[in-house]
Copies of this chain bind each other. A is one copy, B any other.
């Protein structure tokens, strides 16, 4: 099958655009008749705090249980979010959530390498699973998670916040509507200076370095922006040998993705520098940039292009929404899927695809993945 670039653009528009269309103007599911999906939160790191705050702003979700290895932390969050002390579990007794019929869904905010085990345990306990990205630390774990949720007949969604975020979706829509003409290339980056001692620096917990943790945002963005799957990827990694933080994970990764239509994306990620997450898309009729694109609030879309009448259009659209709105939308979407028995937009299969590309990036950069 010999597809022209224009065919690809059209196919892409039919593909991801159709998939994303219901979210293009995200509205919170206030129509759910008041019933709320009850979540058990597994792992009480920073992101789980954001997620629980996000849930509080939904009309269809609530937190009813916690799982943590730190009783003090669990007690603090139970107070903060109104969870009864009787619904605090630890990692030893958490399989008994099976018997807590109040729990319909779990949110997994654990270190990456624990996602697979806890997703599978929760699926076996009959709970729907919303799991943080990266989905897992290996392709086979990701596949096992999908299989376990299918067998248990529970839903599995990966917490790709940006799939539900209006500024990212506005960028996708501008591209799908042809505002930029034919997309030529994309640049994206996301990274930060990682504090010593964080679990992110420990490969057995993290599975990898910044690529797994934040580079995945750029990787995923290049896919939803193009609506295409990579045809090939080349990558390069560099780690300062004298920086004691980087004993087990890489410091810097850059990669170039070639998409079937010819679009090329160049992406950077690091744990050694502050690198505000952004993407910039260049097309034959103009460009757009979302910067910042991936953090919890303060997002901003800028674009310049010539419209179908040849008129110059300049867009500068800051998004005034505040954290935890991304988490509110994410929880709202998953709960709504459970309530109405719909398929989540960011399925396990989406996470699995990113895992295969991450594997390819590491392979090309000469890094062993777990």
A273 in complex: contacting residue of B5, B239, B267, B282, CB < 8 Å: B282
Q: Which residues on A are within 8 Å of B, measured CB to CB?
A: 4-6, 180-182, 184-185, 187, 189, 191, 193, 234, 236, 238-242, 251-252, 254, 256, 258, 262-264, 266-268, 270, 272-276, 280, 282-284, 286-287, 304
Q: Tell whether, in the assembled complex, residue A6 and residue B264 are in contact, meaning their CB atoms are under 8 Å apart.
A: no
- Count the copies: 2
Q: Tell whether, in the assembled complex, residue B266 and residue A185 are in contact, meaning their CB atoms are under 8 Å apart.
A: no
A–B Cβ pairs within 8 angstroms, 16 of them:
A4-B242, A5-B240, A182-B240, A184-B252, A185-B275, A189-B280, A189-B282, A234-B256, A240-B262, A252-B262, A266-B268, A270-B282, A273-B282, A273-B283, A274-B304, A275-B287
CB-based nearest B residue for A259: B238
Q: Tell whether, in the assembled complex, residue A256 and residue B258 are in contact, meaning their CB atoms are under 8 Å apart.
A: no
Residues of the B chain whose Cβ atoms lie less than 8 Å from the Cβ of A189: 185, 187, 280, 282
Q: Tell whether, in the assembled complex, residue A270 and residue B185 are in contact, meaning their CB atoms are under 8 Å apart.
A: yes
> Once the chains are docked, how many angstroms separate the CA of A252 from the CA of B187?
13
How far in angstroms is the closest Cβ of chain B from A217?
16
CB-based nearest B residue for A269: B185
Residues of the B chain whose Cβ atoms lie less than 8 Å from the Cβ of A4: 242
Residues of the B chain whose Cβ atoms lie less than 8 Å from the Cβ of A254: 185, 256, 264, 266
> Once the chains are docked, how many angstroms separate the CA of A122 from the CA of B251?
51
Residues of the B chain whose Cβ atoms lie less than 8 Å from the Cβ of A236: 234, 256, 258, 264
Residues of the B chain whose Cβ atoms lie less than 8 Å from the Cβ of A182: 240, 272
Taking A236-B264, A270-B282, A272-B284 as given, write out 10 further A-B residue pairs in contact, using a Cβ cutoff of 8 Å, ordered by the A residue number.
A5-B241, A184-B252, A184-B272, A187-B187, A193-B284, A238-B258, A238-B263, A266-B268, A274-B287, A275-B282
